[in-house]
Amino acid sequence: MNRKSTRILFLISVLILVGMIGSAALTSLSFSRDIAAGRILSDLDGNAAVTFIPLSGYEDHVKSLGNGEVFFDLTEALADGAAGGFNAASFFAIGSEGNEVFSLSNHSDLAVTLSLRESTGGLALEGNTGPLEPGETGSYYFTIDTDGMPPGTAITGILRVTSDDEASEEAGGGSSGGIVLPPLSPAIFYDFTLDQTDLEDFIALRYWDEAPEGLVSNDALLFIENPYDTYTLSTTALLSDPANASQSYGGYGLFFETTLDESDRDTGYILQFDRQLAALVVRPRSYGNESHTLLRIMNTDSPNHTTLFHSDLIPTSLRDPWWSQEHEMSLTVTDPDPATPEKLLSVAVDGEVILENYAFTGLEPGTTQYTGFRTWAVSATYESLSITPGQ
CA 287, CA 263: separation in Å to the nearest integer? 9
Q: Which of 21-35, 76-90, 187-201, 247-261 has the highest mean pLDDT?
A: 247-261
**Phi-psi domain of 278 (left: phi exceeds 0; alpha: psi -120 through 50; beta: other):** left
Amino acid at 8: I
Tell me if residue 80 falls in helix, strand or coil.
helix
pLDDT at 245 (0 to 100): 59
Q: What is the pLDDT of residues 105-163, one digit of tens each?
A: 888 777 888 887 767 777 788 999 889 888 899 999 888 887 776 665 666 666 777 77
Name the pLDDT band for 73 (thresholds 50, 70, 90): low
Q: What is the pLDDT of residues 34-44, one digit of tens each?
A: 333 333 333 44
The larger pLDDT score, comparing residue 88 to residue 16, is at: 88
SS3 assignment for 358-373: EEEECCCCCCCEEEEE
pLDDT at 10 (0 to 100): 28
Q: Which of 11-20, 74-83, 143-152 has the highest mean pLDDT?
A: 143-152
CA 241, CA 247: separation in Å to the nearest integer? 7
Give 168's contacts (C-beta < 8 A, 6+ positions apart).
174, 175, 176, 178
Q: What is the pLDDT of residues 287-320, one digit of tens each?
A: 999 999 999 999 999 999 999 999 999 999 988 9
The larger pLDDT score, comparing residue 341 to residue 95, is at: 341
CA 14, CA 184: separation in Å to the nearest integer? 13
- Please check whether residue 230 is in contact with residue 336, taking contact to mean a CB–CB distance below 8 angstroms: no
> What percentage of the chain has pLDDT greater than the value 70?
68
Model pTM score = 0.61
Task: Please check the confidence at residue 258 and state whether its pLDDT lies above 90.
Answer: yes
The CA-based angle 149-212-2, given to 5 degrees, is 55
pLDDT, the chain, mean:
77
CA 125, CA 115: separation in Å to the nearest integer? 8
CA 163, CA 181: separation in Å to the nearest integer? 12
